Amino acid sequence: MLPERTATTYETLAQIIQREIGQNVYLCYQCAKCTSGCPLAEHFDLWPNQIMRCLQFNDERPLYSRTIWLCASCQTCTTRCPQGLDIAGIMDTLRIEAKRRGVQPTVPEVDKFSTLFIRDISLFGRLYEVGLMAGLNLVTGRLTKDMDMGLEMMKRGKLHLIPSFVRPPKQVRPIQASDNVVAYYPGCSLHSSAAEYNHTTRVCARVLGLELIEPPGWVCCGSTPAHSSDHLLATVLPLRTLSTVERMGIGTLTAPCSSCFSRLRAAAHAVAENDDLAARVAGQIGYAYQGRVQVQHLLDTLVERVGLDAIHAKVKRPLTGLKVACYYGCLVTRPAKITGAEHVEYPMQMDYLMRALGAETVDWSYKTDCCGGALSLTKTQLAWELTAKILRNAHDCGADAVATVCPLCQVNLDARQPQIGLEFRLPALYATQLAVLAFGFGEREAALERNLFDPRPVLRTKGLIQ
């Protein structure tokens, strides 16, 4: 039953959305591009365009729908809306409003995941991955879920039993910045489940003459749980780190994790566009961010800042004969107004990087499709379904391996691949792992032993390792 309305206090959902995120739902003219591009639409009870229609007619069914909880925040709808509506942001706002009104989540495990995630980063400053997975299994009653995968990751040094405790520094010492100095925001995963990404990123930086400086006391960006739970928190968390970098005097921050990159860019964009929000954030963090830090994805730092010619000049063992499907995922380029990407639907930066390393890149259809990373721990079968489509398309297009630049994507493509049940196996490596091999290092420096699906047999057949 929908709650009764009171004439004195009632505010429509359309008005709430306009007030909270400045989106006018009446601009939607039902072209349905949001629905046709949504990778999860078939699992929704209300399609995205139907959500928008409900909002226009003051129909509150969206608050009670599965759709707002199953949305993977892949930004496809926002990117493709011809009216420029932030439909993913509207989904977030509906989820927040449903919680505010006490509406029971129709996909409770997603809500529990977000609650545990935000609790962890509130306590520790960064995500405690083991604690999050164990806590989620406990509160959902699935005590052994993913235990085999977790134990295997632990054996390979990809998960830590002891959490880290960090807080942003009150005082920040400026450094003498130079052209080769870049602030490095590894994000929570690269200090844990994506340790091989962190290691090979640092090797690449050393070879290419980049000095990576981690901001002291950097904290979690909040990822999807923050922006789908609290608009202010989702801005405050990234701005804490950006403010530290700005006070250090470093003009560029690079983020290897696509989710971190997205959240850092989105937060910087939000305070630049909204003076009231900027003031509220400044009040929370005790510093008024001036917007002097350029946020880049690591991929752009390598291709644009270092340059393809400089990268090619460092190649000692070209990746000759290796056919690579470059998987960008959904957040490296989407939406363009946040990421600044020139080619949102079919990017080529990683393809150019792989070619500079001597590999052959394949043309394929799923390079920016969502793998379901935001649902990997909660609605795992949906993540399997989306990941299977990606892997099958890469395989059918002749790829020997998939290269990625996101730790959330890597978990699905690599660690979950045995669970999916495909009739083939396709190695999934970080682009930096392949770069380390091309720079003449061996499998140990490329941290190949940390991939759960062993890529070494394929690389040996190509003569890239002994």
Report the pLDDT value the prediction gives residue 4, as an integer from 0 to 100: 52
Report the pLDDT value the prediction gives residue 6, as an integer from 0 to 100: 47
CA-to-CA dists, residue 163 to 75, 169, 222, angstroms: 31, 19, 16
> Phi/psi at 340 (nearest 5 deg)?
75, 10
| CB distance 25 to 17 below 8 Å | yes
Question: What are 98-116's pLDDT values in tens digits?
Answer: 999 999 999 999 999 999 9
Question: What are 227-243's pLDDT values in tens digits?
Answer: 999 999 999 999 999 99
Helix axes 231-248, 258-273, angle to 10 degrees: 90
For 187, the token pair is 């994000």
CA-to-CA dists, residue 298 to 74, 159, 281, 433, angstroms: 19, 23, 26, 13
Rounded distance, CA 439 to CA 424, Å? 29
Q: How many CA atoms lie within 13 A of 159 on its CB side?
A: 20
Please report which helix (H) or strand (E) contains residue 349, including its range. Answer: helix 349-356
CATH code matching the domain that covers 315-461, chosen among 3.10.20.30, 3.40.800.10, 1.20.1440.230, 3.40.50.11810: 3.40.50.11810
Write down the residue that tokens 């990606």 correspond to. 390
* DSSP H helices in 209-348: 223-227, 231-248, 258-273, 275-285, 298-300, 308-313, 336-339
| CB distance 201 to 269 below 8 Å | no
Report the pLDDT value the prediction gives residue 294, as an integer from 0 to 100: 97
Fold exhibited by the domain 181-297 = Glutathione S-transferase Yfyf (Class Pi); Chain A, domain 2 (1.20.1050)
For 174, the token pair is 């400026």
Question: What are 269-319's pLDDT values in tens digits?
Answer: 999 999 999 999 999 999 999 999 999 999 999 999 999 999 999 999 999
DSSP designation for 175: -
Global pTM value: 0.95
Rounded distance, CA 186 to CA 220, Å? 10
Q: Would strands 211-213 and 181-184 be described as parallel, antiparallel, or unpaired?
A: parallel
Write down the residue that tokens 């235990």 correspond to. 147
* β-strand partners of 294: 252
Could you write out the three-class secondary structure of 404-440? ECCHHHHHHHHHCHHHHCCCCCCCEEEHHHHHHHHCC
Report the pLDDT value the prediction gives residue 2, as an integer from 0 to 100: 52
Please report, for the chain, the start and end positions of each structural domain, with discontinuous segments joined by +: 13-100, 108-155, 181-297, 315-461
For 400, the token pair is 């020997």
CA-to-CA dists, residue 109 to 6, 44, 323, 377, 380, angstroms: 32, 16, 39, 9, 11
Same fold: 13-100 with 315-461: no
CA-to-CA dists, residue 145 to 62, 156, 189, 225, angstroms: 30, 19, 20, 21
CA-to-CA dists, residue 59 to 3, 14, 85, 87, 99, angstroms: 12, 10, 19, 17, 17
Rounded distance, CA 85 to CA 78, Å? 6
Quickly count: other Cβ atoms within 10 Å of residue 436's Cβ: 28
Rounded distance, CA 191 to CA 160, Å? 9
* β-strand partners of 403: 326, 429
Report the pLDDT value the prediction gives residue 9, as an integer from 0 to 100: 62
Report the pLDDT value the prediction gives residue 179, as an integer from 0 to 100: 87
Report the pLDDT value the prediction gives residue 177, as an integer from 0 to 100: 80
Query: Which one, of 186, 331, 315, 170, lies nearest residue 265 by Cα?
Result: 331
DSSP designation for 363: P
Q: How many residues does the chain have?
A: 466
Evaluate the CA torsion angle 220, 434, 441, 307 in order and state its sign. Answer: negative
pLDDT tens, residue order, the chain (466 aa): 455 554 446 899 999 999 999 999 999 999 999 999 999 999 999 999 999 999 999 999 999 999 999 999 999 999 999 999 999 999 999 999 999 999 999 999 999 999 999 999 999 999 999 999 999 999 999 999 999 999 999 999 999 989 989 999 999 999 988 889 999 999 999 999 999 999 999 999 999 999 999 999 999 999 999 999 999 999 999 999 999 999 999 999 999 999 999 999 999 999 999 999 999 999 999 999 999 999 999 999 999 999 999 999 999 999 999 999 999 999 999 999 999 999 999 999 999 999 999 999 999 999 999 999 999 999 999 999 999 999 999 999 999 999 999 999 999 999 999 999 999 999 999 999 999 999 999 999 999 999 999 999 999 999 999 8
| CB distance 440 to 412 below 8 Å | no
- Domain 13-100 is classified in which CATH homologous superfamily? Alpha-helical ferredoxin (1.10.1060.10)
